[in-house]
């Protein structure tokens, strides 16, 4: 039992020292793109209010964003893969799966790909599409460093 006590504190000390070293590592900044336009498509039947809402909000954010430095110019293709509405116990949870391709304006090659899942909550089914569209657009604005614009 004494050998356990004699090894326990040095091992804990080494673990704490290694964990504190990770605080000093710097995260690489995410790449920034000069987004020129966006198009929203869907392989499934998605409510038009969601498609139009995301497109209007993202394009308004693109127009509101001014870049002072030169970044790679891209065009976004936003694919809303699926939408599930009325999930959960109280039927207020809505989930959307989204995939984004950023294609170069110069040669058309895809230089960035992103996908994510958004969960939003809405008390009324009438407002669910608009809330989900805003949540998707907000995530895209955040990912591509776009300013919020008026849709």
* Number of residues that make up the chain: 151
Reference 132, options 90, 100, 97, 91; nearest CA is: 97
Distance CA 2, CA 119 (A): 52
Q: What does the alpha-carbon distance between residue 129 and residue 118 come to, in Å, rounded to a whole number?
A: 13
Q: Is pTM beyond 0.75 here?
A: yes
Distant-in-sequence, close-in-space partners of 28: CB < 8 Å, separation ≥ 6: none
Write out the chain's pLDDT in tens, 151 residues.
Answer: 555 556 667 777 776 777 776 666 666 566 788 899 999 999 888 999 999 999 999 999 999 888 888 888 999 999 999 999 878 788 888 999 999 999 999 998 999 899 999 999 887 777 888 999 999 999 999 988 888 766 5
Which residue bears the tokens 């065009």?
Answer: 75
Residue whose entry in the numeric block shows the structure tokens 């993202």: 58
Q: Which domains does the chain have, with CATH numbers?
A: 34-143 (3.40.50.10610)
């Amino acid at each position: 039992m004494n050998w356990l006590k004699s090894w326990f504190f040095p091992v804990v000390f080494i673990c704490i020292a290694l964990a504190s070293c990770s605080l000093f590592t710097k995260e690489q900044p995410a790449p920034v793109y000069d987004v020129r336009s966006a198009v929203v498509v869907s392989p499934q039947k998605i409510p038009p209010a969601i498609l139009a809402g995301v497109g209007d909000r993202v394009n308004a954010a693109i127009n509101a964003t001014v870049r002072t430095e030169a970044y790679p110019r891209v065009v976004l293709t936003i694919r809303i893969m699926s939408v599930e509405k009325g999930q959960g116990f109280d039927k207020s949870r809505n989930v959307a799966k989204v995939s984004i391709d950023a294609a170069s304006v110069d040669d058309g090659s895809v230089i960035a790909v992103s996908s994510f899942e958004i969960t939003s909550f809405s008390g009324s089914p009438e407002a669910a599409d608009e809330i989900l569209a805003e949540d998707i657009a907000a995530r895209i604005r955040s990912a591509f460093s776009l300013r919020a614009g008026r849709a």
